[in-house]
Amino acid sequence: MAQVCLVGSDDVNLRYELLSRETARNALVTYDLREPFENTLQVETVSLGAAVALLNDLNWYLVRFTDAAFVKVPSISESEWLSRELATAIRDDELGPDETGRFLTVYGVVAADDDGDENADVGTDRPPRLVEPMLLTRTGQTIPDYDLREVDETLVVRVTETEFGA
């Protein structure tokens, strides 16, 4: 099984934008849609190939409404995600899974009401938010700490060398 997570742009409501358009709605109709983070959409597919195919089917919408798309494949990593570009490279046998752990984008994860807004609804059941991605290079078994702000946890995304340098 593989999971796909789409991260909506700040100025859009991702769920609304995707489900209000017939082609995107039809591509997503067979999936159980979840929102693990604020303004994200996550689905589970049967394989890495199916995950990449879904992203390709949704490409027109992803370009317009998302900041990022991630794929998690347990056979590659139980805890780390792959960028769309990296997932595609692995599916196309351009890179092996063991060649993917060096270049990373690490997102901070904070509680939804932890945004400094004193008028926020404290105690709501909103999902946590992804904040400020940070580029890191893994040189050993561990990665440097996320230090852009105080966060509850982090989400690690493996990226291609090209994405890392961009």
SS3 state of residue 100: coil
State the residue for tokens 């990449």: 52
Asked whether residue 90 falls in the same domain as residue 126, the answer is no
Residue 55 burial class via C-beta count within 10 angstroms: exposed 0-12, middle 13-18, buried 19 and up: buried
In the prediction, which pLDDT does 5 show? Answer: 98
- Give the per-residue pLDDT at 113: 72
Give me the number of domains the chain comprises: 2
Q: What's the token pair of residue 88?
A: 């595609």
- The answer on 145 and 83 residing in a single domain is no
- CA 98 and chain centroid, separation: 20
The answer to whether residues 64 and 109 belong to one domain is no
Q: Would you give per-residue pLDDT tens digits along the chain (166 residues)? A: 999 999 999 999 999 999 999 999 999 999 999 999 999 999 999 999 999 999 999 999 999 999 999 999 999 999 999 999 999 999 999 999 999 989 999 999 999 876 555 455 555 688 999 999 999 999 888 888 899 999 999 999 999 999 998 5
- If asked whether residues 79 and 142 sit together in one domain, one would say no
Sheet containing 66-72: give its strands across: 40-45, 2-8, 66-72, 81-83, 153-158, 103-110, 129-137
Domain edge (last residue) among 64, 79, 98: 98
